Structure 1
Amino acid sequence: MSARQIRLAAAASGAALLLAACGAGSDGGDAETTGGGAEPAAGADLELIQDGVLTACSEVPFPPFEVEDADAPSGYSGFDIDLLQAIADNLGLELTIADVSFDALQSGTTLVAGQCDIGASAMTITDERKANLDFSDPYYDSLQSLLVAADSDITGIADLAGRSVAVQQGTTGEAYAEANAPEAKLTAYPGDGEMWPALQAGQVEAILQDWPVNREHELADPDYKIVEQFETDEQYGFAFAKGEKTALQEAVNTELQALRDDGTYDEIYSSYFTDNS
């Protein structure tokens, strides 16, 4: 090989190495920031506890807001869960649900512990809870109600003196009963999953809780009826650890508005509350 041929071969080899180095440098830069050249996980700027996954804590069952559903992507459905599933889908996130105690959730304990990113459990926004939690924009207007057996002589909250009444621990229903039926014999249960069987078994004479949940029982069993509703100006919101999930909170609010604007919210709402005012 001539000297000229040697120089040309060397130049070609050097060019190939340079191109390879440039390619490696480009991939290497991506690898440092995105992990081997892969696209960043969805929600990378939301500080989720698991990349690409929105982990929600909820107290289940609480129909029609939270119920187990083997056919749903997360294994759960209900108004809260379906709405949150739509938000997660729009954000490109997988939704997973952790079943937790409502009392621990509403107090902020579960969220501060980092067990989940968001609380979705028909939680009323209150000033007391705002001391420990941040909330999304309201997504549901609710009221309280009193459910009794159809043959009961209880006709309203005025008849509850000395009567046994089930309430859910840590809820606005419990607070309402304490304030407005001080002579009732209140029993605080972890959730509707315990209160409803207690009423059916005759262990309590009434349930005072959110109207949509009592309405589900009234529709399912004609042996029970709602005898009074209480306007409380309650609104539900998704909950976040105080001061720790501001980007996620903003993203959820943005998606809530988008779901209202494109009609998805109304579709989900009407599938659960067709006879609700």
Structure 2
Amino acid sequence: MSRKTPSGKTASRKTSFRRTARWAPAAGLAALALTATACGGDDGATVQGVKLIEKGALTSCTHLPYPPFQSEDKKTGKVVGFDVDVIDLVAKRLGVTQKVVDTPFETMKTGSALNAGKCDIQMGGMTIKPDRTRFMDVSDPYFDATQSLMAKKGSGVRSLDDVKAKKLKLGSQASTTGEEFVRGKGFDPRSFDNSNAELDGLRTGQVAVIVQDDPVVRGWLKDPANSSFELVANLNTGEQYGMWMRKGHNPALVKLTNQVIAQARSDGSYKRIYEKWIGPMPPAAGGGS
């Protein structure tokens, strides 16, 4: 997944505020070279062995919008979503509140946002990939993901082969694993900066088909405004999402996050969050990954 917005905007879960990835090795190496200021300031704290950049808060980076994983509630201005609820469980275990920082995805995928002390943990449907684990620590998988194709009803599309055979223009979200997947299949998709722009591209006919994370597509199709479109195909890419932390810096937070994910799966919390934001949970989704 991916998205691009102005950096530096923050929001408490309690307050209002204004969210995957063409890999750039050089950027990743530069990210490692950054010296972090996260816990060196007077505002930092250590709770249960976990280093926090701000006292009383677990600060999370994400890139908005990316419903149902995170987006800004139009009525309250709060950042809400599947990932937000999972990180809230971690914050609750620490006895603090979650604070969300809206961050360009480019600074998230390289680890530079973490290294620069912008946040303690990163969320946002970020696929676990070897190139990312070189520069960041990652939690155990918390979500099994697939990609889906969305098109206008009656398009006759049921696969990527159909898109190619019909010579239809395919759209994708920039820097996402979905975009990487279709490029690997020989497509040259039109790349949109964020998920909203990608959806608008489909609505306005700039593209005939789009590829996006399956839960995102299913969320869009719940909106009556998208009633003329449908999910036309699933692409099982074997992806799993993880929560990301600064490399070698906060092992206690990695351990705690894994404990929280495991407990949520066993005590029913995960199921409640899943069904709140995604829908009926497949039996396999509740177990370990």
- TM-score after normalising by structure 1: 0.79
In 2, the alpha carbon distance for the partners of 1:269 and 1:98 equals 23
**Structure 1 residue runs without a partner (length 5+):** 1-34
**1:232 corresponding residue in structure 2:** 237
Question: Hey, what does 1:67 align to over in structure 2?
Answer: 71
Amino acid at match of 1:163: L
The Cα of 1:71 is off from its aligned counterpart by: 7.0
Find the partner of 1:76 among 69, 75, 79. 79
Aligned residue identity for 1:173 = G
Distance in 1 (alpha carbons) for counterparts of 2:123 and 2:232: 28
* CA deviation after TM superposition for structure 1 residue 102, in Å: 2.1
Bigger Cα displacement from structure 2, 208-217 vs 260-269: 260-269
Instruction: Note the alpha carbon deviations across 1:46-66, whole angstroms, 9 max, x for none.
Output: 111111211101111111111
Shift of 1:272: 2.0
Of structures 1 and 2, the one with the larger relative CO (CA 8 A, separation 6+) is 2
More helix by share: 1
Q: Distance in 2 between matches of 1:228 and 1:78?
A: 25
1:48 maps to 2:55: no
SS in 2 for 1:259: helix
| Residue 244 of structure 2 is aligned to residue 244 of structure 1 | no
**CA pair 166-252 structure 1, distance change in 2 beyond 3 A:** same
Q: How many correspondences in the alignment?
A: 236
* TM-aligned CA deviation for residue 43 of structure 1: 2.0
1:271 and 2:276 aligned: yes
Aligned residues of 1:44 and 1:52 also touching (Cα < 8 A): no
Q: Measure the CA separation in 2 of the matches of 1:81 and 1:236.
A: 14
Give me the whole-angstrom Cα distance separating, in 2, the residues matched to 1:225 and 1:135: 34
CA 44–269 in structure 1, closer or farther in 2 if over 3 Å, else same: same
Report the Cα offset of residue 151 of structure 1. Answer: 3.3
TM-score, normalising length from structure 2? 0.75
Task: Give the deviation of 1:78 after TM superposition.
Answer: 0.8
Partner of 2:89: 86
Contact in 1 for aligned 2:172/2:210 (Cα 8 Å): yes
Give the distance between the partners of 1:51 and 1:139, measured in 2 at CA. Answer: 26
1:164 is aligned to 2:169: yes
Could you give the per-residue CA deviations for residues 226-260 of structure 1, whole angstroms, max 9, x where no partner exists?
A: 11101122111101122222121111112222222
Is 1:212 the equivalent of 2:211? Answer: no
Q: Distance in 1 between the 2:163 and 2:210 partners?
A: 11
2-side partners of 1:239 and 1:129: how far apart?
9
Asked if 1:203 corresponds to 2:206, the answer is: yes
Larger of the two Rg values belongs to structure:
1
**Deviations 1:131-190, CA, capped at 9 Å, x for gaps:** 11211111111101111111324332013334322222222111111112x1x3312223
User: Displacement, 1:117?
Assistant: 0.8
User: CA shift at 1:276, angstroms?
Assistant: 5.2
Q: Distance in 2 between matches of 1:102 and 1:163?
A: 28
- Give the Cα separation in 1 of the matches to 2:154 and 2:188: 20
> What amino acid is the match of 2:64?
V
Letter in 2 for 1:232: T
Does residue 138 in structure 1 map to residue 155 in structure 2? no
Specify whether residues 41 and 71 from structure 1 end up closer, same or farther in structure 2 by C-alpha distance, changes over 3 A only. farther
- Most deviating of 154-163 and 227-236: 154-163
| CA deviation after TM superposition for structure 1 residue 70, in Å | 6.5
CA contact (8 A) 2:45 2:52 kept: no
| TM-align CA RMSD | 2.2
CA distance in 1, matches of 2:135, 2:157: 37
